[in-house]
Structure 1
Amino acid sequence: MILTVTPNPSLDRTYEIPGLDRGEVVRAAGERMDPGGKGVNVSRAVAAAGAPTLAVLPLGGAPGALVAELLDAQGIAVAPVPVAGLTRSNIALAEPDGTLTKINAPGPELGPEEAESLLAAVAERSAGADWIACCGSLPRGLAPDWYADLVARAHGAGARIALDTSGPALLAALKERPDVVKPNAEELAGAVGRPLTTIGDAVEAAEELRAAGAAAVLASLGADGQLLVEASGTWFASAPAAVVRSTVGAGDSSLAGFLIAGGRGPEALASAVAHGAAAVQLPGSAMPTPADLVPDAVTLTTEIPFERPLREPAR
């Protein structure tokens, strides 16, 4: 069972539009509404793969109730932590060429009691979890070391932790030695404080995160593929995407694929890449099912192309 923690969940509305013209009326060709937040997306991807999951998240007001309702409709168990503020609503505008414009609301501010209630809910529900995936930005009111506290408590209870966050929250949590961290290229560059222009740069940055405390680093490099750097070796994998419809939730789907496959080694990396490649070809933040995956399309190697430039350099 994979338990997910999403401190700042959302109600996500995605509109497929022919183009974005500022100041003009834009008519959407399609729309969808999904429960959102990185941990929520991981739970959705795990459930779509047919594996058990539980989503722990703070929910407030009518948007929060709708998030819980949408998750329940997808067969996902929810452990809600009531909060006074309203759960945020986000908007994504998806264009035919794959361009995605996102408007993310800040979300509610959590008080000290609500922050502690969220930690307590994770502790109460973590028995029997194979992994605890802690994902996303921290809402207002939670200190940067909140994730570090969660990782320390979870490790004390014998759980394995996957962490997908960035900035001060990521750096603070490294000292508690999460089992795997999953930055994208931009987050990886931010963590080491310098630009990344080649795949070799990304490998070096991942090694620095391991030296700082992460047991393993699963780094998403966008269209270039993904890296896995751990004690037993370094692997690079990629897979083609025939059509990119939306990148919303693709990284979360990758993390789900990684954890479903055991969270370690090249087979888990191949599963991560297959899930991510399938996700970008689906609308909105739809999560792939096993029927959407094309495992044979994944190229996996230990021969890292260190000098290959990143198509989207990270700064």
Structure 2
Amino acid sequence: MIIAAGLSPAWQQILEVTSLETGEVNRCQSAQWASSGKVINVGIAVRHLGTPCETIYPAGGFARELISNELDQLGVSSCVIPQQTPTRVCTTILDRSTGKTTELVENAQPITAEELAAFKKEYLKHLKSAQVVVLTGSLPAGTPSSFYRDLIAETHCPVILDARGPELEAALEEKPFLVKPNHEELERTLMTKLADTEALIKGMQQINQRGATWVVISQGKDTLWATSREHVYRFTPARAEVVNPIACGDSLAAGIAVALHRGKPVPDAIRRGMAAAADNLTQLLPARLSEKRMQTFYDQIEVEQIA
């Protein structure tokens, strides 16, 4: 089983417009609502890839029931921690004339110490059956930056961590198996600019030296890099029609997790994660993956070991 766990779910509105005009009235081609946020996206993606998964998240307000009902309909096994404050609502605007995506992101509301304790209790309960864990998403204001570190310290199986800044730095003490900040997040964590490929790889391997077995940096349609202390891999992504880029990073994490769960070596797991991200890019709703579609993208992805 895979665990997807995180504290920042969202109820997501997805709007398509012919041409976005700021400061004007915009009529939408379509409007969709979906359960989202990193932890939810990972859980949905893993479920669509046919692997058992428990999705653990807090939720409150009107969105709690909406998310829970949709996950039930999708067959996503989940454990929701009741939260006093309402779950955030985020909006994605897809401008079809330019291909640009605009996100209106509400920050996750603070979560109480009692709710964090309940979350950890459920996590530890399900951990007994887990072979891979994905810890993902920003921590709500007031949550200790050591929260992910403390979960990893209790975890006996490989952990994929999608976090940044103080929570990433703290978690490195417990040696997560794979971390996947983006380029900007890595710069924030190291507090330095990584202006070229050489600097990027050196920065990634600094994170390896500080505890992460693998570091993965994705850059959209550009090269993806993966490093360990000894090795450097360059991956050339597949070409895919852009419909909605939301949850591509989450689909990458989910695809890697599923491949590791199936015993694939890390470079191949990353390649499969990239195929999942490419497939997600072609779908309007986030994380609704298909292994059949993914195979086409998988075959296009090029892998080169640099060191």
- The reply to whether TM is greater than 0.5 is yes
The amino acid that maps onto 1:300 is V
CA distance in 2, matches of 1:54, 1:231: 31
Structure 2 equivalent of residue 71 of structure 1: 71
Residues 240, 98 of structure 1: CA spacing in aligned structure 2 closer, same or farther, 3 A cutoff? farther
CA distance in 1, matches of 2:240, 2:37: 26
SS at match of 1:87: coil
SS at match of 2:195: strand
SS at match of 2:129: coil
The amino acid that maps onto 2:116 is A
CA distance in 2, matches of 1:92, 1:193: 29
Unmatched 5+ residue regions in structure 1? Answer: 305-315
Select 1:297's aligned residue among 292, 297, 300: 300
Structure 1 stretches of 4+ moved >3 Å: none
Q: 1:286 Cα shift?
A: 4.2
Instruction: Please give the per-residue CA displacement for 1:173-221, whole angstroms capped at 9, x wherever unaligned.
Output: 1111111111111111212222223333221111010111111112212
Structure 2 equivalent of residue 196 of structure 1: 194
Alignment map for 1:42-121 (pairs within 5 Å): 42-96=42-96, 97-121=98-122
The amino acid that maps onto 1:224 is D
Residues 150, 211 of structure 1: CA spacing in aligned structure 2 closer, same or farther, 3 A cutoff? same
Question: Which has the higher mean CA deviation after the structures are superposed, 236-245 or 77-86?
Answer: 236-245
Kept in 1, the 8 Å contact 2:183–2:218? The answer is: yes
CA distance in 2, matches of 1:264, 1:104: 35
CA distance in 2, matches of 1:67, 1:287: 15
CA distance in 1, matches of 2:80, 2:31: 27
Equivalent residue pairs, number? 301
Unmatched 5+ residue regions in structure 2? Answer: none
The amino acid that maps onto 1:237 is F
Q: 1:64 Cα shift?
A: 1.1
Kept in 2, the 8 Å contact 1:16–1:30? The answer is: yes
SS at match of 1:196: coil
SS at match of 1:214: coil
Kept in 2, the 8 Å contact 1:42–1:255? The answer is: yes
Structure 1 equivalent of residue 280 of structure 2: 279
CA distance in 2, matches of 1:291, 1:25: 40
CA distance in 1, matches of 2:63, 2:227: 39
CA distance in 2, matches of 1:232, 1:287: 35
CA distance in 2, matches of 1:20, 1:51: 39
Kept in 2, the 8 Å contact 1:207–1:229? The answer is: yes
CA distance in 2, matches of 1:281, 1:232: 35
Instruction: Please give the per-residue CA displacement for 1:144-182, whole angstroms capped at 9, x wherever unaligned.
Output: 11111111122xxx2321110111111111111111111
Q: 1:242 Cα shift?
A: 3.6
Q: 1:284 Cα shift?
A: 4.0
Select 2:167's aligned residue among 166, 169, 177: 169
Q: 1:110 Cα shift?
A: 0.9
Instruction: Please give the per-residue CA displacement for 1:60-99, whole angstroms capped at 9, x wherever unaligned.
Output: 1211111111111110001111111111111110112331
The amino acid that maps onto 2:149 is A
CA distance in 2, matches of 1:234, 1:260: 22
The amino acid that maps onto 1:298 is I
CA distance in 2, matches of 1:264, 1:189: 28
Instruction: Please give the per-residue CA displacement for 1:267-297, whole angstroms capped at 9, x wherever unaligned.
Output: 1121111111221122242432112212211
1:139 and 2:140 aligned? yes
SS at match of 1:282: coil
Q: 1:231 Cα shift?
A: 4.5
Structure 1 equivalent of residue 23 of structure 2: 23
CA distance in 2, matches of 1:230, 1:297: 24
SS at match of 1:206: helix
Question: Which has the higher mean CA deviation after the structures are superposed, 60-69 or 234-243?
Answer: 234-243
Q: 1:230 Cα shift?
A: 2.1
Kept in 2, the 8 Å contact 1:6–1:37? The answer is: no
Kept in 1, the 8 Å contact 2:20–2:95? The answer is: yes
Structure 2 equivalent of residue 313 of structure 1: none
Select 1:186's aligned residue among 184, 187, 204: 184
Q: 1:259 Cα shift?
A: 1.3
The amino acid that maps onto 2:58 is P
Identity %: 26
Kept in 1, the 8 Å contact 2:205–2:227? The answer is: yes
